[in-house]
Chain A
Amino acid sequence: MGFDARRASSETVVIHVGEALDFRNADAFKSTFQEHVENGIRQFVLDFSDTEVLDSTGLGAIFSLYREISSDDGKVAFADVSEPVQVVVHLTRTYKVFRQFPSVEAAQEAFSG
């Protein structure tokens, strides 16, 4: 199943992660962001508002996105992070890498500021 991704501006794409990002749909997530990376997008907001499951493979896919764009000063932000995702973010200390925002709009505002 694909991921809902929408162009929020000429530079930013918002990906709605949905209920789960795990080893079963990590490849679909990669295909989703890859298309936008190839089109020059370097700013991504990941909307975790409805996400119940984020596993290590899902996290690895997000790392993959970050590695692809970070050399071009790209950014990945986490928005509206649900409690189950927050636990994984803390356990893996990935909050050191990905900024978190209370909402998608706040993340977009930070990107445009």
Chain B
Amino acid sequence: MKTFTETYTDLDRAIDEVRTLADEWKASRQSGVPDDEMIHCACLVLHEWIANLHRHARFHDEPPTVEVRLTYEDPHLSCSVSDNSEGFELDAHLPAEDDDLESLPEGGMGLRIIKSCTDDFSYAPAEDGLYRFDFSIPSDHDPWLNTLF
């Protein structure tokens, strides 16, 4: 099992750096690298999630802190993003399966991208008092099969 962890206190910086996180992760390891498609999906999901926190989460008047943890254990790439926000109900933000997508909605596309890229995801309080977003991507995941319309 290989793990890469990075903590950010600036969400803008976090968004910019998760794009290169995978490269750093690969550079820090000797073997067992997940394929590029898995890594690209993970980076897309991380961008969408941290952007979601940046735009919508409240942080108790404290500086926001997020910890990104990537773990690869063949055949799964797992990722968690812990944050010190007040949390929110993920279900309330999820697009319904029968939403009218032909209307080209300006919102909700981020969670559609997350759904398409991942095998499973959740957002819930963690034991340490933080909230944690978890997702996993199996190596045989086909994001095109998960698209919703």
Which residues in A have some Cβ–Cβ distance to B below 8 Å? 22-24, 52-53, 55-57, 59-61, 63-64, 66-67, 84, 87-88, 90-93, 97
Contacts and interface: CB of A to CB of B under 8 A. Distances in A.
A57 B54 CA distance: 12
A91 B112 CA distance: 8
Given A63-B104, A66-B104, A67-B104, A56 B109 contact: yes
27 contacts: A22-B47, A22-B51, A23-B54, A24-B12, A52-B19, A53-B19, A55-B47, A57-B51, A57-B109, A59-B109, A60-B105, A60-B106, A61-B106, A64-B106, A84-B40, A87-B40, A90-B147, A91-B112, A91-B116, A91-B143, A91-B144, A91-B147, A92-B109, A92-B112, A92-B147, A93-B147, A93-B149
The 3 lowest CB-CB distance pairs between A and B, nearest first, are: A56-B109, A56-B110, A60-B106
B12 A55 contact: no
Contacts of B63: none
Interface of B: 12, 15, 19, 40, 44, 47-48, 51, 54-55, 104-110, 112-113, 116-117, 143-144, 147, 149
Contacts of A64: 106
Contacts, number: 60
B113 A56 contact: yes
Contacts of A57: 51, 55, 109-110
B112 to A, nearest CB: 6
A63 B54 contact: no
B54 to A, nearest CB: 7
A90 B109 CA distance: 13
